[in-house]
Structure 1
Amino acid sequence: MKQSGILMIIGSALLLGLFVFPLWNIQLEAPQYPDPLGMDIYIGGIQGEEEFDIQNIDGVNHYIGMKKIPTPSEMWEFNIFPIVIGIMAALGILLGILGYLKKINVNWFLGWFILMLVLGILGMIDFNTWLINYGTNLDPKAILKLTDAQGNPLSYKPPLFGSQKILNFTAHSYPRGGAYFMLLGMLCVLISWWTAKRVKN
């Protein structure tokens, strides 16, 4: 149980990587931009990969009626997510200490993992909902109004995961360092529960 407790502590602490590294990244490639435009999505806000990337993305989006990239004050998620991650990291570390001291049942580790998994799924659903709204809720007064063959307005939603052609741009959407820290941490927690359960049985 002591080794499992230590692994639980390490796994929970790895969540703190989300405060340092971006969770996700979206890049836009186009012939007129030799260097792709990119934005890193952190749990507390969005930053451009390069100094003027956000400004350039907003400029391109303006022509087709897309909203500007939101600031932390414009999205409740950027205020709530850091609190949730901080609480989950602290709770996991506390459970690891209590497990190390043999004060709790190992199933508390599994409970933490399931809760973190549910929160992660809800976060991805919320992110995808934002992408849908961002790419489809367009300004009707936009300079360019492009439609499909049936006359319906085009959607400019970037993919949740993977690459997709959007007009003359190719959008790439993939996890970054923060996501890998989180997944590694959750894996450590799952292993800590499994090993402790195995020893107990």
Structure 2
Amino acid sequence: MEMDYPQLYRQVAFLPKRDANIALREFSINHKWRENAFIVDFGSGDGSTTATVLEKHLPVCYNKIIGCDISAKMVEYANENYGTNKIEFIEWDITQEIPQHLRGAFDHAFSSYTLQRIKQQKHAFSNIYDSLKEGGSCLLLILGRYLVYDIFRSLSRTKKWAEDLKDVDIFISPYHDSQIWSRLSIHSVFSIRDGTDSWQIISS
């Protein structure tokens, strides 16, 4: 699912930025960023979170950040407004085959409120894993249970909104109905690629 209005997104993304800042601050306190690191931001959108939040938590010696997004308009806007010699944005759908040059290329992966919009969860997580170097880590912010989703579903059953919300489940997080996350609205996952084709979850 694409969002093609970067200027509008920039105006309304203050809450995701706040949460990303909190999670990154905690990550930086408890886990060490690698020197000369390559970092990838999955679902970088308009680029503002990548450049004004993520980068601020990195050591000055980081090598490069690559922001990936499915929307060509978002990528164009991000490069025009936030691209530098150390921050670059590329168009890529995380549910598609991972480009060869991104395999095992990154020391750290980051994603803020993107994964809950993706239905092909297994493929997305496999690509995140495959993008990391051995021992690389990732920080993922995922929207789990959210009251607004229940409101959308209720409205979709009314005569007034049925047509407009006929595809409501497309917009609902796959974790919304999970019993595991039944009491969580926001979930942060910290994990490390341990070289055994599996994730080592070190905090959540």
Q: Same fold (TM over 0.5)?
A: no
Larger-Rg structure: 1
Higher helix share: 1
Higher strand share: 2
Q: Taking structure 2 as the reference length, what is the TM-score of the superposition?
A: 0.28
Q: Taking structure 1 as the reference length, what is the TM-score of the superposition?
A: 0.28
